[in-house]
Structure formats: structure tokens, C-alpha cells
Amino acid sequence: MSTKMTYREAMREAIREAMIADEKVFLMGEDVGHYGGCYAVSKGLLDEFGPDRIRDTPLSESGFTGAGIGAALGGMRPIVEIMTCNFALLALDQIMNTAATMRHMSGGQFHVPVVIRMATGAGRQLAAQHSHSLEGWFAHIPGLRILAPATVADARAMLARALEDPDPVLIFENALLYNREGAVPDNLAAIDIDHASIRREGSDISLITYGGSLWKCMDAAEELSSLGVSAEVLDLRTLRPLDDAAIMASVAKTRRVLIVDEGWRSGSLSAEIMTRIMEQGFWTLDAPPMRLCSAEVPIPYAKHMEEAALPQVATIVETTRKLVGA
């Protein structure tokens, strides 16, 4: 049995369920209360839970993220919402130098069970200060778990698993997914945050991706199928720690790999994945691994330029055909 809902509704229901289950859980961030959240994820929650648990904050990412970390150290289970990952850079000191390091610096005496949610990704003509994909930067930091739910079911289930973690968890929600509809199974306990997931079986090439790019890869795989190319699509789901076993198993099966990542190419998550494949799966490859990333420019405002800067279905198909010789 399953229930159909949007990605936005799934996130809202996940927050609502967590707050009902544990009175120590609360949500804080800019406009999460009276406005209902920048992307309407928290719409209606203020009326249901009141201002003590749905807390509007000043426009100070460093300040309210630090407050959330402090609350977590004090025994609460805060969910901190940051409008976009671009603005998370204003809280980077709190996230990296405090949340990510506290367990290590205290010799394991203190944990920071904070969950920080933020929108990521481009494609909405919001230009260079609201459109970047910086999850790869945060995935560089030891002490953090980085989640990137791409399906509605994962959006519904991952928050509960994140709140169970005694250490900080960052959830990157691609803003293009909020209106996407999907089925949520009744048995959410079967959904974990430790493993990647094969969303489409294939035998000729592995398309490794996450977040908003998953659906571009799924569309590309369908188009490739009509050309006689069988593409497997692997959804990473968790970007730190990476599920090396799932990556290597898929590559060993198809022997060719294309990584699709909306982050910038240089120093990217895709670079890390390619390196691991070369270290652990070199002898299984029939062709050099390739990747598609965003153009190394600030994301443009103009629609045609923004589209040109991002991996698209057509470029995924074209690159795959080159890799498999189709």
C-alpha cells in the first residue's frame, strides 16, 4: 500500500510526524512560521504546533544555525531550515567548526544531533546567488552526514532517520523537486539512509547521480533504451558517506560509467567518485569514466543560458552514446 503526494507534502508530513512523536523536535529558520517556508514546506505547521516549536528567526544564518547547534547540545532535536545552500555559507563556521567537530573535540562526550535542511540546485531563473549546488562542498567535511533525497518516498522517510542520528545531518532538497508527485509506501521503516539505490536496471553503462539529476538520468535512460542502449541508473541518496559497494557493484556489472553532478566540475563530488572507481574498480572498466557537471560559471539568470550551464537529458544521451559507441 502507498499514498500519493508531492515532495513538498512529503517533507511537511515528515516534519509533522517527528514533532508529534517527540516534543523535543522543533523547526526554526527564516519565514518557516507565518509565511509557511520559502518553498511552503512548513505551511500550516505554525497553527498546529505554535510559535515555541515553529520558530521564525532573524535573517542571520550564522546566528540561528548556532542557536540550533546549541539547542542540540542541550538535549533538543532541532530542525534548522536554511533557504538555499548559497546562504548556508554564512553559517559555514557554525556547521564545520562547531557541529562537525564537537564529537571529536570532546573525545566523544558531546554529540550535536541537529538536522539542517536546505534547498539546492538551479533551473528556476533565480540567478547566481540562489541557484548553486554546493552539497559536494559539505560532503568534503568529516563529521557530517549528507543526504540528497531525490524521490518523494525518500523525502518522506529520510528526515526520521536523520533525527535518529546522534551527529549532524544535512539534507539537500533540490528545489525543482518540490512539486514532483510520487508514491510513499506505508512501510517507511524499510527506507534507510545508508545505501544507494538502483532506480533502473541496465547492462551497458552506469549513470551515477543524485537529487534533481536523477530524473534527467531516468529520462535519458528511457531515450537510450529506444536506441538499443541499456543504462543502469544509480541514485546515490547519501553523499557522505558514499556507498562505495553499490558504486563498484554497478560499475563491475556494466563496465562503463557516466557521473552526472550539478556541482561544478573542478574539485567536485563527481571527481571524488571517479577517483574511487579508479582506485577500486579500474580493472573492471572497458572505457574511461566520464562525467557531466555544471559549467564553471556563476549560474546565469537568462533561461537559455541557465539551461546551457546545467547537465540536460540531451547531453546525458549524447555523452552516453560516445561512451558505449552507439
Residues labelled as active-site residues: 61, 130
Question: With contact defined as beta carbons under 8 Å apart, do 285 and 262 qualify?
Answer: no
Measured CA to CA, the distance from residue 95 to residue 116 in angstroms comes to 9
Backbone angles phi, psi at 12, to 5 degrees: -65, -45
Instruction: Say how far apart CA 311 and CA 303 lie, in whole Å.
Output: 14
Ramachandran region of residue 282, left (φ > 0), alpha (ψ -120 to 50) or beta? Answer: alpha
Characterize the bridge pairing of strands 238-240 and 197-200: unpaired
Q: Which amino acid is at 78?
A: P
* Number of alpha carbons in the 13 Å side-chain half-sphere of residue 266: 3
Under DSSP, is residue 204 helix (H, G, I), strand (E, B) or coil? coil
Residue 93: DSSP 8-state: I
Which one-letter DSSP state was computed for residue 68? H
Q: How far apart are the first and last CA of the chain?
A: 40
